[in-house]
Amino acid sequence: MMIERIETKQRMSRIVKHNGTVYLCGQVCKDAEQGISEQTQTMLDKVDALLLQAGSDREHILSATIYLKTMDDFKAMNEVWDNWVPAGFAPARACVQASMARDVLLVEISVVAAEK
């Protein structure tokens, strides 16, 4: 039952692995000056990279929690999400409105996945 922490800093680890489960820290976009569609896409690109690093992928995501600055962006975010999630592999998911750590951020995601 070893816990593996990857890219650990004072406040958090980017990836934590335990018993075949991968936990990613919250991911935000690459460029916060963009709109919701672009922020969602670059956020999901970062999730892809972390899952690959952790020995997992989109088809192994167990759950995702998405935080939106405003529910006005729900439809546009879902258009990007729906194209990103492989058909037949939709994870358990929650989406909530939340205050963001920086005002320019429109979306953040927290992901739990199984190792391949």
Q: Which pLDDT belongs to residue 83?
A: 98
Where in 1-116 does DSSP place strands (E)? 3-8, 13-18, 21-24, 61-68, 92-97, 107-114
Query: Cβ(31)–Cβ(48) under 8 Å?
Result: no
Query: Cβ(23)–Cβ(15) under 8 Å?
Result: yes
Query: Cβ(25)–Cβ(12) under 8 Å?
Result: yes
Confidence bin at 1 (pLDDT 50/70/90): confident
Q: Is the pLDDT of residue 86 over 80?
A: yes
Percent residues over pLDDT 90 in the chain: 98
Of residues 43, 47, 58, the one with CA closest to residue 90: 58
What single letter denotes the amino acid at residue 46? K
Q: Which pLDDT belongs to residue 87?
A: 97
Helix axes 74-84, 36-54, angle to 10 degrees: 40
Mean pLDDT of 86-101: 97
Express each pLDDT in 30-70 by its tens digit. Answer: 999 999 999 999 999 999 999 999 999 999 999 999 999 99
